[in-house]
Amino acid sequence: MQIRSTTDQDLDVFVDTLHAAFGRFPETPTGGGGVWWSALEMDRGLLALTEDGRPVGTAGAYSFELTLPGETIAPCAGVTAVGVLPSHRRRGVLSALMRHQLAELRSRGEFLSVLLASEALIYRRFGYGPATYTQRLTVPRHRAALAPPRARGAAGAPADGADGGAVELLRRSECGEILEEVYDRYRRAQPGALSRPHRWWASGAGQPPVSSAPRYVALHRDADGVPDGYAAYTLGEAETLTVDETVAVDDAVHTALVRFVLGHDLVTEVVIKHVPPLHPLRWQFADFRAGEVSGDTDWLWVRLLDVPRALTARGWCADGELVLDVDDPFLDERGRYLLSVRDGKADCVATDRAPDLSLDVSDLGSVYLGGTAPSTLVRAGHIRAHRPGAPALADALFRSDRAPHCLHWF
Ligand SMILES: CC(C)(COP(=O)(O)OP(=O)(O)OC[C@H]1O[C@@H](n2cnc3c(N)ncnc32)[C@H](O)[C@@H]1OP(=O)(O)O)[C@@H](O)C(=O)NCCC(=O)NCCS
């Protein structure tokens, strides 16, 4: 078997092979109406071929930016389009693609890669760990009342218009580049969020509302008329209003949008997708049990390709020092690093000091964005703590001032 890079000329064979791996047909439209492969970057694709040149496997990567804790923004590879023909599975084709891809990403100078996993058992062996999580909230309309904020002078839950802003109703097709601009503002301040390159919006590559599938869009504008949030939704069977995504530059805008969709007439229940776990929304309901959580799952998986660069790229909200022994069995590498954090910035250098924590690179990926507490992985038996205070110190260091969340599908 051989692995080779793709060019634009390989698009058809790449898309055909990938669809065959998933048992689908490229000519059958998928939900959402977007042609997702128009966003593929064919100069970043890989094809696995048999000795006689037949394509049997694919892997691709997008060029994204990822927002890290401390509102720093780093380039990252968004691994995608991974598939191996059913006739050639469990013979090491994916492993060969992953090995080739990781080497190529490093040769491009990239230090982070991310993906969404179709199955949770596939990617840990390649050094990826789940790093952000997501939920779906189903709210029966009759329980949907929001409580007034209890803090005096709080701006947390103003009625629509009370903050000087207003919600305008548009159709997806009327939005022009407004959603793209609002999303870009939002993602720059949200750890775990990915950029959505212009070509995604321009070609409708992705799930609604990136795709041009019919949607209503509740667009929030601030007191000066500047768009600062949106909720894209559709009204389906059984009077269920489903919100694809709610994007807001702050909590007050988020509340105004939620208030809007919850107030929709002729609706029995509202399903809100992509809610970050522990989001304040549940606390805003008068009835704490109003929202039923489902679809509680991992979303973005993170892989560090260069530990010191990745750790120095993010911001930190506590000072301290930790020695990390990091094992990377897939790449057959092991490193011990002294992480020193002062005033929000880290130094990370090789050391021979005794380790505080020993961990697999996939577990470092899980804690990297601050969405998984290192102590949880110590308690789960995955990270080894060499002294009693180390898990608590690691929790304080790796925590993000705002929980990471990603709602981009790719
Ligand atoms: C997932 C997929 C790409 C794996 O390809 P593959 O060539 O069979 O994988 P490999 O032979 O390199 O497997 C490497 C190891 O991972 C394990 N593995 C691979 N896929 C797995 C899965 N879905 N669940 C559990 N283990 C899996 C293999 O058993 C093997 O383990 P071993 O090294 O202990 O023997 C392939 O099954 C596929 O195309 N599935 C459908 C499409 C899909 O889900 N793609 C992923 C999109 S995110």
Report the pLDDT averaged over residues 58-67: 98
Q: Is 87 in the pocket of ligand 1 (CB under 6 A)?
A: no
Q: Is the pLDDT of residue 410 over 50?
A: yes
Cα 376 to middle of ligand 1, angstroms = 27
Q: Is the pLDDT of residue 108 over 90?
A: yes
Q: What domains lie within the chain, and their CATH numbers?
A: 2-110 (3.40.630.30), 134-296 (3.40.630.30), 307-398 (3.30.1050.10)
What's the pLDDT band for 43 if we cut at 50, 70, 90? very high
What's the pLDDT band for 158 if we cut at 50, 70, 90? low
Q: To which H or E segment does residue 248 belong? A: strand 240-248
What's the pLDDT band for 28 if we cut at 50, 70, 90? low
Q: What is the mean pLDDT of the chain?
A: 95
Q: Is the pLDDT of residue 156 over 60?
A: no
Residue 280, preceding bond cis, omega within 30 degrees? no
The predicted-structure confidence for 159-197, as pLDDT tens digits, reads as follows 555 668 999 999 999 999 999 999 999 999 999 999 999
- Among residues of the chain, what percentage have pLDDT more than 90? 91
Cα separation, 75 vs 341, whole angstroms:
22
In this predicted model, which residue has the larger pLDDT, 238 or 5? 5
Cα separation, 129 vs 308, whole angstroms:
18
Strands 216-221 vs 129-130: parallel, antiparallel or unpaired: unpaired
Cα 254 to middle of ligand 1, angstroms = 39
- Record the tokens describing residue 205, joined without a space: 């590559």
DSSP letter assigned to residue 258: H
- Among residues of the chain, what percentage have pLDDT more than 70? 96
Q: For residue 25, what pLDDT is reported?
A: 86
- Confirm whether pTM is higher than 0.85: yes
Q: Is the pLDDT of residue 403 over 80?
A: yes
85, 89, 99: which to mutate for ligand 1, most atoms within 8 A of CB? 89
Nearest to 168 by CA among 182, 186, 156: 182
**Ligand 1 atom closest to the CA of 83, numbered from 1:** 39
By CB atoms closer than 10 A (0-12, 13-18, 19+), residue 350 is exposed
Nearest CA to ligand 1 atom 21: 122
Within 10 A of 92 (CB to CB), how many other CB atoms are there?
13
Cα separation, 260 vs 242, whole angstroms:
13
Q: To which H or E segment does residue 282 belong? A: helix 281-284
**Ligand 1 atom closest to the CA of 119, numbered from 1:** 23
Q: For residue 33, what pLDDT is reported?
A: 46
Q: Is 84 in the pocket of ligand 1 (CB under 6 A)?
A: yes
The predicted-structure confidence for 292-348, as pLDDT tens digits, reads as follows 999 999 999 999 999 999 999 999 999 999 999 999 999 999 999 999 999 999 999
82, 99, 102, 122: which to mutate for ligand 1, most atoms within 8 A of CB? 122
Contact residues for 47 (Cβ-Cβ < 8 A; gap 6+)? 3, 4, 6, 10, 13, 14, 17, 55, 57, 58
Q: For residue 29, what pLDDT is reported?
A: 57
CA distances for 308 relative to 76, 168, 314, 339, 393, angstroms? 15, 46, 11, 8, 19
Return the amino acid letter for 396. A
Q: Is 379 in the pocket of ligand 1 (CB under 6 A)?
A: no
Q: For residue 162, what pLDDT is reported?
A: 61
